[in-house]
Structure 1
């Protein structure tokens, strides 16, 4: 089987449509379809089946995608071994990060890698962890976050590594009735108006836990994705919010520890399986680990 045809099949598994594969690989849709037909003949089994106006992978197609990952990883390892004879790890590593995690860790990562020959090309991508496999079609490393009670996204096509744990606190305005307390229990928050994030993100998972404990459905006035906007609204007295401890920047907020409920998000680093065997990717992963250790060691 052709390695390039296996790459086309993997792209279809990642991107979902022939048109998207064609755009990603700078091919025409008809050329993509032809490559997939040839691959099916080589495999001797149907790899695709109709799904409305599109196509989807058969069970055999999904099984072959897993093997394609292994073959393409082996090709990268071979290239890496040759590169190792030419000197230190070098090259470009594409990294996706959620914004608050990027603000905390990316400056440290770039400082760690300065002068190493490894170039990090970073983009902000804030999606639920369930969407990380889609991001790995375009990135070598994805920094994502999830509620600490949620399962790891490690699977046949994703390798996920726990990087750090970040507590989630309650943010209130300086004049709020609870501002003088160092910590609060969920029952004290039952009547509050909340400024929260979109559903599916770790902070919202903790808010749902509070609802379970108190038996009161939270009154959510706004759902926003940008923490700086949430902070501004809370500081102005429009509600209270749950905030990851290291993400807080607003000087007029009072942060309260949340007692009686597991309240934290964890950071994961996701790659394709075996990606760390490429020295440049391994260097980036190591830089993230070092950055996380320093971030969590600093007083909040």
Structure 2
């Protein structure tokens, strides 16, 4: 079987359509279809089957994708071994970050990599953790976040590295009746009007946990994914909100740790299996780990009293 045809098959597994594979590989859709047909002949089984107006992988196709991952990983390891003979890490590493996590970590990661010989190309992608496998079709490393009660993003085709835990607090305006409190219980928030983020993100997961504890569905006035905009609305006493602790920058807001609810998000770095063996990718992962340790350590030195959940 051709390695390049196996790569086309893996791209189809990642992207889901012939058109998307063609765009990613700079091929025509007909050329992609032909490569997949030839691969099916080489395998001696059908790899694709109709799914309404679209096509999808058969069971045999999904099994071959797993083997394709192994073959392509072996090719990557061969390239990595050659890179070791060339000395220090070199090359380009594509990194996807969610915006608030990128704001915390990239100002430390990028300067650390500036003279390393590794060209880090970052992109901000505001997508939930469920999109990580798809993102790895275009990026070498994906910085993602999840509710601490949710399972890791790791699966047979994704390797996940935990970076840090960030508590999620309730933030209120300086004129709010809860301003200045050192903590707050979910039951006290039953009558509040909320700002939240779109579904699928850790902050919304915590808000749903509050609803479970109190038995009251929260009144959500707006769903906004920009934390600076949320801060501005909270500061105007429009509503209260949940925000990750290290992302709060407005000193006028009161951040109130929740009692009785596990409220935190977990930062994870996702890669393809064996990707960390690449000297360049390994160097980027190390830079992110160092940055996460620094952020967590500096949070303990802030003058504001913090209460861990």
Which bin holds the TM-score, normalised by the shorter protein?
over 0.9
| Cα distance in 2, alignment partners of residues 53 and 5 from structure 1 | 24
Shift of 1:76: 1.1
- Secondary structure, in 3 states, of the residue corresponding to 1:258? coil
Give the secondary-structure state (helix, strand or coil) at the position aligned to 1:184.
Answer: coil
Any idea what the Cα deviations from partners look like across 1:118-157, whole Å, max 9, x if unmatched? 1110000111101110000000000000000000121111
Asked if structure 1 preserves the Cα contact closer than 8 Å seen for 2:83 and 2:279, the reply is no
Consecutive unaligned residues of structure 1, counting only runs of 5 or more, are none
Which secondary structure does the structure 2 equivalent of 1:176 belong to? coil
State the shift of 1:251 in Å. 2.8
Q: CA RMSD in A?
A: 0.8
Deviation of residue 53 (structure 1)? 2.1
1:180 and 1:3 map into 2 onto residues whose CA distance is 62
CA distance in 2, matches of 1:81, 1:212: 52
User: Which residue does the alignment assign to 1:227?
Assistant: 227
Alignment partners' CA distance in 2, 1:50 and 1:168? 45
Kindly indicate whether residue 246 of structure 2 is the aligned counterpart of residue 241 of structure 1: no
What's the TM-score, normalizing by structure 2?
Answer: 0.96
Q: Deviations over 1:249-283 (max 9, x none)?
A: 12321111111110000001000111111110011
Partner of 2:88: 88
Q: Is the 8 A contact 2:49 2:56 kept in 1?
A: yes
CA distance in 2 between partners of 1:256 and 1:56 (Å):
48
Any idea what the Cα deviations from partners look like across 1:225-270, whole Å, max 9, x if unmatched? 1111111000001010000001111232111111111000000100
Is residue 267 of structure 1 aligned with residue 296 of structure 2?
A: no
Instruction: Look up the match of 2:10.
Output: 10
Give the drift of 1:181: 0.9
1:23-74 CA-partner distances (Å, limit 9, x unpaired) = 1111111111110011011111110011122211000100111111111111
Distance in 2 (CA, whole Å) between partners of 1:180 and 1:232 is 18
Q: State the Cα distance separating 1:178 from its structure 2 match.
A: 0.6
User: What is the total number of aligned residue pairs between the two structures?
Assistant: 300
Residue 194 (structure 1) aligns with: 194
Runs (4+) of structure 1 exceeding 2 A deviation are: none
Q: Distance in 1 between matches of 2:187 and 2:238?
A: 20
Could you state the TM-score of these two structures normalised by the residue count of structure 1? Answer: 0.98
Q: Please state whether the residue corresponding to 2:257 is helix, strand or coil.
A: strand
Q: Secondary structure at the match of 1:42?
A: helix
Q: SS at 2:120's partner residue?
A: strand
Q: What whole-Å deviation, never above 9, does each CA across 1:87-133 have from its counterpart, x for those lacking one?
A: 10111000000000000001111122221101110000111101110
Distance 1:36 1:214 in 2: 53
Aligned partner of 1:250 in structure 2 is 250
CA distance in 1, matches of 2:155, 2:239: 39
CA distance in 1, matches of 2:20, 2:217: 41
